[in-house]
Amino acid sequence: MSKHLLEVKNLTVEFHTGEGITRAVDNVSFTIDEGETVGLVGESGSGKSVTSLAIMDLIPKPPGKITQGEILFQGKDIVTATDSEMRGLRGNDISMIFQEPMTALNPLFKVGSQICESIILHQKVGKKEAWNKALELMHQVGIPNPKNRAHSYPHELSGGQKQRICIAMAIACSPKLLICDEPTTALDVTIQKQVLELIANLQKVHKMGVLFITHDLGVIGDIADDVLVLYKSKLVEHDNVKKIFTNATHPYTKGLLSCRPGIKHNPRRLLTVSDYVDAEGNEKIVPAKALEPFEKSFDFNDKENPVLLEIKNLKTYYPIKAGFFRKTIAHVKAVDDVSFDIRRGTTYGLVGESGCGKTTLGRSILRLVEPTEGQVIYNGVDVTDLNSTDLRNLRSKMQIIFQDPYSSLNPRMTISQILTEPMEIHNIGSNKKERLELAKALVNRVDLEQNHLARYPHQFSGGQRQRIAIARALAVNPEFIICDESVSALDVSVQAQVLNLLQDLQEERNLTYIFISHDLSVVNYISDYVGVMFQGKLVEYGTAKEVYTNPRMAYTKNLLEAIPKGIPKTV
- At residue 118, the pLDDT reads 83
Q: Is residue 186's pLDDT more than 60?
A: yes
CA distance 171 to 554: 34
Measure the CA–CA gap between 349 and 541, rounded to whole angstroms.
10
pLDDT interval class at 229 (50, 70, 90): very high
What is the average per-residue pLDDT within 226-234? 92
User: Residue 482: pLDDT above 90?
Assistant: yes
| pLDDT, position 10 | 94
pLDDT at 546 exceeding the cut of 90: no
pLDDT tens for each residue of 88-104: 888 888 999 887 777 78
Q: Rounded to 10 degrees, what is the CA torsion of 422, 423, 424, 426?
A: 80
Write down all domains in the chain, each with its CATH number in brackets: 1-93+178-257 (3.40.50.300), 100-172 (no CATH)
Instruction: Report how far residue 24's alpha carbon sits from residue 26's, in angstroms, rounded to the nearest whole number.
Output: 7
Residue-averaged pLDDT of the chain: 87
Q: Could you report the per-residue pLDDT of 495-542, keeping only the tens digit for each?
A: 888 888 899 999 999 999 999 987 888 888 899 989 999 989 999 998
Instruction: Tell me which of 165 and 290 has the higher pLDDT.
Output: 165
Per-residue pLDDT band for 299 (boundaries 50, 70, 90) equals low
From the list 294, 356, 571, 540, the residue with the least C-alpha distance to 560 is 540
* Residue 212: pLDDT over 60: yes
CA distances from 398 to 211, 310, 315, 428, 517 (A): 44, 14, 20, 15, 19
pLDDT tens-digit series, residues 361-378: 999 999 999 999 999 999
> Which amino acid belongs to residue 368?
L
* Cα angle, residue 274 at apex, residues 270 and 277 outer, rounded to 5°: 125
DSSP labels, 548-569: HHS--SHHHHHHHHTS-----T
The rounded Cα 434 to chain-centroid distance in angstroms is: 37
Tell me the average pLDDT across 42-70. Answer: 88
pLDDT at 460 over 90: no
Q: CB–CB of 14/21 below 8 Å?
A: yes
pLDDT at 571: 43
